[in-house]
Structures are given as structure tokens and as C-alpha cells.
Structure 1
Amino acid sequence: MSFSFYLPTKVFFGEGAVNNHGVFLKGRGRRALVVTGRHSATASGAMADIEALAKKLDITLATFNQVPSNPTLEVVGRGVEMARSEGADFIIGIGGGSPLDTAKAIALLATNKVPATALYEAELPEPPLPVIAIPTTAGTGSEVTQHAVFTLPEKKIKKGFSDDRCFPLAALVDPRYTASLPLEVTIDTALDALSHAIEGYLSRRATPLSDTLALEAMGLFARHKEALVRGELTPATRYDLMYASTLGGMVIAQTRTTILHTLGYPLTFSHNIPHGRANGLLLAAYLEFVQPAEPVKVARILTVLGMTSLAEVQQMIRLLLPVPGKYPEKELERMADLVTGASSMAWTARQGTRADLVRILRQSLG
């Protein structure tokens, strides 16, 4: 057996992570740029904790709170300008995947003299500013990955970006910051974390260690799936879902995501379906597609989820999510065309054609 595992992020997990371990920020610099959305940092209580910590450590904060869901590179560019004008020594990302991903890109571009629009093509020789990640949703696991995803309006798609230098220096993960999330968002993000675990487990890049983390994350979701259906979100449920999200992030940091994620991007861009929900809607059909290539692993997934068939996976999704709209065949084909040939197919256990992608979409949405 031989494999590699690279995770340079120092993780502080648990209630009061910022208060108990925030001293880690000491010595990172005197000026920090907080990158966040318009509401999540304040509503969660994370912003108040960071402001108190900054005062204690004599760190000056500037705040870039213009990150929307599904940010574009134009948003990143505005953040880069602020980081430079404020003379930021490091970046603090607070929020869900969008603010954390944006924080990574700002940190990388702030030290490299290229426009944000060139993120995917330009040479970026200078190391990024250090990033401290504080998640307020339990879905993306972005606090422990080198990945970021941005919307490219001109191409009508979302696209991932990866650079090992973009791993956050530290992740301060406090499940209490998810307490203000509504049920709908909690379910969507939980399905995102579940899809990370499942895709990573089925990825061609999977390792024995990433499989261990993936199975643990799936088990945590399974423990609370009925609570999600009932809408009973106890602190214990919040805790386990946040833990599952961080584990899922650790998994895809090693394995990347597969065609499931990529196939969900057109649903988000063109039809405004939240990212995690898009993954959830496609999950059962994706598992059916992959099953011939990985029958043992798919069977193990069902066992961990407490199910005996893929039909039960679909039934769970129907209980958790609103009934999806019906999409005409031409739209299904258009969405499949957008992702046919995507690099994520290389990590997918079974190699698929355009017809396979249309079939997954049709089974899920047709």
C-alpha cells in the first residue's frame, strides 16, 4: 500500500474555537482583511468574536462584506483592491463556501500583479497572504481545502480553481456559528457535505485514509438524516453536521470532486438552484451511473446510510428537498453539453459520455 495525504491547515474544532484558540493569529500581522458576505458573519456571531479577538491582540480589521452567493472574479478583484489599499498582512474568511473561496483568491492575487480575471490562466509566482478560515455553514469544507469555485458569467458556468498554496493556514471551526441557519440552508449544505464524502469515496484518487474520513462523514450524516427530514436541529445535530462538513473538505482536498459536482453547476448558474441542493437532486442517478464500476463501494455507501437500495436514496432526497421542476429535453442536453469533457470526469469511477450525462439529468429532473 502506498499513498500521499497533504493537509497543511491547522484545524481548531469545537465550541468557542475563536475564543479558545484565536491567539494563533498573534504574530500573523497587524492588519487583517475580513472577507465575508453581507449577513452571515454578523448573524452567526463569528464577527463579534473576531472583533473581540482583534482588539485583544491589537490587530486592525478592515471588512470586505460584498461576497454574494456564487461570486464572480469581478467580486474577487474588488476584494484584492481593498486588501492592497488596506495593507493587509493576512486574510480572515468568514462564511460559507463563497466567502471562504473568495478569501483564498484575494489572498493569492493580492501578492501577484495580475488582474482577477486572469486567475485561471496567469502565472502566480508570489505566495499568497496567509488565510484564516471560519466557516458558518456545514457544507463546503472550504476551510480545509486548496480549492475555490467561481461563477464565469461569460461562459455561463461555474469553474473550480485549485492551488496548494491556497490551503488556509488555520481553520477555526465552531458548530455554534451554524445555529442561525434556516432549515432549508442546513439541508442544502448538509447534502453538499454528503456529496463530498460520497464523491471522494468513489473518486479514482481515493486513498485508504481519505476513504476512512469519507465513511465517517457519511455516518455522521446518516445519524441525523431523520432529524433533517423532521426539521429538528438540535445542537448535537449542528455539531455533527459541521464535523461531517470539515471531514468532507479533508476528503476532497485529496480526491477532488467528480462529475456530480460539475453536472450540478449549470443548475446553479442557469436555474438558481443552491449548490448543495443541485448535488442532492442528482445524487441517486449519479450513484446508479457509477455502480457498475464500483459495486462494492456503492453497496458500502448504502450500508453506512442505513439503506438497502438506490431507490431509498432517491426517496430520502425527495423527503429532504422540494420537488424539482421538469426540464425539457433540449435544456437537459444543453446542460450536459456545458460539462461534457470536463476534467472532473478523469476522477470519476466510470467514464461517461454526453448521453450518460443527459441520462443522469433526465432521471433527476426530466
Structure 2
Amino acid sequence: MNYSFYMPTRLIQGQGCVRRSAAVFASLGTKAFIVTGKHFARKNGSLDDVTAALTEAGLSWEVFDEIMSNPTIEVVYRGAERMRACGADFVIGIGGGSPMDSAKAIALLYSQEVKEENLFSGSYEDCLPPMAMIPTTAGTGSEVTQYAILTNDAKETKTSVASDLLFPTVAFLDAGYMKSLGRATTIHTAVDALSHNVEGMISKRATVISDALAKEGIRRFRLCLEALLSWDGQTELPLEVREELLCASTIGGMVIAHSGTTAVHSMGYELTYFHGTDHGRANGLLMAEFLKIAAERMPEKTADILEALSMNSVKELGEMLKAILGPEPPLTEEEALRYAAIAVQAKNIKNAPFELTEEEVREIYRKSLVRG
């Protein structure tokens, strides 16, 4: 049995942890470059908490709030130029996966010249600035991964900038920032966290440690399932549920940092790129059909996943996902054919211990989303 485990990111968890961490921010540099979206970090109080802590530490900052969902290559190059121009020396990412992934990519591009054709090469100089991440959704796990996922128009999909150099220096976990998240975002990000933990187990890079983490992440998702299924979005989801989901998400990030994702992600990217389907939702729509194949080829691992969910079959998992996600507009046969051809070219589809042919990928799309 040979494996390694590397997790250099410091975790600080609890309500108010950002505001109490002026000394931590002071240890990172003298001027922060804050990467976020237009609205949510202001709405949930996370940006105010960050700037209050920076003020207490005697630090200055610049806010770059141009990050959109599914960030583009162009926006991270623009962010890096802005960071150089303002004289910042460390990065803070606030938000869901899009701002945090963008923050990591900006830190990379700020630190060194990387031509666009080499952006996804994985070969970079070890000179990145310190990075702090503050997740405001529970699903991506980006606060503890070495990945930055960007929209890649040249390949009509999403592609990962990947290097151990992208592991954040520190991550602050405060589920209070998620209180105002709506039902759709809460559920889609929760399913993304589930997908990370599930795919991490169905990976040829899985280890005994990543599997142990994944089972715990799946179990924590299961603890929230009843609350999510019964929640109409009109009332506030209990904070303890938010905290469990955030824990499942961070664990899922640790899992895929070592195992990588597999076919569900590579296939889901096409739904996001071509249809704008939320990332976690896209994963959830495809997960059950993928696991039916995994159950035939990796029955013990699939049984472990179902046990952690307290479920008896992949069919039961599929029914749960349909109930929690609701209906999705169908794909055409032509779309299934096209998306399968793209998905089989992705690096992460090759992470599974078994080969998936293009026809099998097409069948997953068909059985999941083609009607009639």
C-alpha cells in the first residue's frame, strides 16, 4: 500500500472567525487584493468582516469584483493586471467556486508571466503570493484544493488550472455567510459536495485516507438530507444544517485534492457550458447513471457509498436526486452525441479505474436527460 497525503491549507472555522483573525491577515502581507463577485459578499457581510479585520491589522486593500459565474480566462488575466497595478502582495477570495478559483488563477498570473496557451500546462514557478479563501457557499471545496476551474471557449467546456502551488494558505469557514442563500443555490452546491465525495471514491487515485474522508463527507450530507428535502426556501435553514453542509463541502475538497474528479464532472461541464446549468445540479443529474456502471465494475466501493448514505441501491439514490433537484429540460439525441465526444477528451474522465467508452458516456447522457 503506497500513498501520500498533502494538505497545506490552514483551516479556521466558526462564526465570526474572519473578524477575529486580524493577526492572520497581517501575517500574509501588507495589501490585500480581494477577489469576489458584484453583490453577494456585500449582502452576506463577509466583505465587511474582511475589511474590518484588515483595518484592525493596519492593512490596505483593493476590491476586484468583476467575477461572474463560470469565470473566463480573460477575467483572470485582467484581475492579475489590476493586482500588479495596485501594489497588492496577497490575495483574498470571497464567494463560491467562481471567485475562489479566480482568486487562485489571479495569484498565479500575478506572480509570473504565463501565456494563455500554457495556462493549463501545470508547469509554473514557485513564487505565488499568499492566498486566503472565504467560502460563502457549501459545495465547491475550492478553499482546500489546488485547482482553478475556468471556462475554456476553445474547447467548449471548463478546464482546470492545476498545481500544488495553488493550495490556499488559509481558509476561513463561517457558515453564517450562507444564511441568505436561496433554495436552488443551497441544494445545487450541496449536491456538488456530494459529487466530490462520491467521485473521489470512484477514482484510481483514491487512497485509504481519501476514502475515509469521502465516507465522512457523504455521511454529513446524509445528515442534512431530510432538512433539504422538506425545506421550501421560504424560511431560514437552521445554521447547524449549514455548518454540516460546509463541513461536507470542505471534506469533499480535501478528497478531490488527492483523488481528482471523474466522469460526472467531465460530463457535467458540457451541461454548464452549453445550457448554463448550475455546476452542482449538472453533476446531480448525471450521478445515478454513472454509479450504475460503477456498481457493476466496482461493487464494493459503490456499496460503501450507499452505506454512507443509508441507502440500499443506486436506484434509491437516483430517486433522491430527482426529488431534490426537480425536472430538467431534456437533451436531444444530437446534443448527447456532441457532448459525449467532448467529455471523453477531458482529463478527469480518465481518473476512473475503469474505462468509459464514448458510447457509454453517450448512454449516460441519454438515460439521464434524453426523453422519448
Q: After TM superposition, is the score higher than 0.5?
A: yes
1:311 positional shift: 1.2
Question: Superposed, which structure 2 residues align to 1:159-238 within 5 Å?
Answer: 159-231=159-231, 233-238=237-242
Letter in 1 for 2:7: L
Pairing 1:148–2:148 present: yes
* Counterpart for residue 60 of structure 1: 60
CA contact (8 A) 1:74 1:116 kept: no
* Counterpart for residue 72 of structure 2: 72
SS at structure 1 position matched to 2:359: helix
Give the root-mean-square deviation of aligned CA atoms: 1.3
For residues 22 and 143 of structure 1, do their structure 2 counterparts lie closer, same or farther at Cα, with a shift above 3 Å needed?
A: farther
Aligned length: 366
Q: For residues 296-327 of structure 1, what are the alpha-carbon distances to aligned partners after superposition, in whole Å with 9 as ceiling and x for unaligned? A: 11112112112111111111111111211121
Question: Superposed, which structure 2 residues align to 1:15-54 within 5 Å?
Answer: 15-54=15-54
Q: For residues 273-315 of structure 1, what are the alpha-carbon distances to aligned partners after superposition, in whole Å with 9 as ceiling and x for unaligned? A: 0000000000100101111221011112112112111111111
CA distance, structure 2, for counterparts of residue 21 and residue 2 of structure 1: 38
CA contact (8 A) 1:93 1:133 kept: yes
Question: Superposed, which structure 2 residues align to 1:309-320 within 5 Å?
Answer: 309-320=313-324
CA contact (8 A) 1:74 1:117 kept: no
* Counterpart for residue 368 of structure 2: 364
* Counterpart for residue 125 of structure 1: 125
1:113 positional shift: 2.1
Letter in 2 for 1:94: I
CA distance, structure 1, for counterparts of residue 117 and residue 357 of structure 2: 31
CA contact (8 A) 1:175 1:242 kept: yes
SS at structure 2 position matched to 1:226: helix
CA distance, structure 1, for counterparts of residue 20 and residue 212 of structure 2: 28
1:2 positional shift: 3.0
Q: For residues 214-239 of structure 1, what are the alpha-carbon distances to aligned partners after superposition, in whole Å with 9 as ceiling and x for unaligned? A: 01110011111121111172111101
TM-score, normalised via structure 2 length: 0.96
TM-score, normalised via structure 1 length: 0.97
1:116 positional shift: 5.0
CA distance, structure 2, for counterparts of residue 208 and residue 126 of structure 1: 29
CA contact (8 A) 1:264 1:275 kept: yes
Q: For residues 6-46 of structure 1, what are the alpha-carbon distances to aligned partners after superposition, in whole Å with 9 as ceiling and x for unaligned? A: 01101111212212334211132111100001112112211
CA distance, structure 2, for counterparts of residue 107 and residue 165 of structure 1: 10
Residue segments in structure 2 that go unaligned for 5+ positions in a row = none
CA contact (8 A) 2:200 2:261 kept: yes
* Counterpart for residue 350 of structure 1: 354
CA contact (8 A) 1:290 1:349 kept: no
* Counterpart for residue 89 of structure 2: 89
SS at structure 2 position matched to 1:62: strand
CA contact (8 A) 1:194 1:248 kept: yes
Q: For residues 171-223 of structure 1, what are the alpha-carbon distances to aligned partners after superposition, in whole Å with 9 as ceiling and x for unaligned? A: 01111111111011000000000000001112111111111110111001111
CA contact (8 A) 2:30 2:60 kept: yes
My pick for the range that moved more, 149-158 or 189-198, is: 149-158
CA distance, structure 1, for counterparts of residue 193 and residue 318 of structure 2: 17
326, 329, 340: which one aligns with 1:325: 329
Residue segments in structure 1 that go unaligned for 5+ positions in a row = none
Letter in 1 for 2:223: R
1:124 positional shift: 2.9
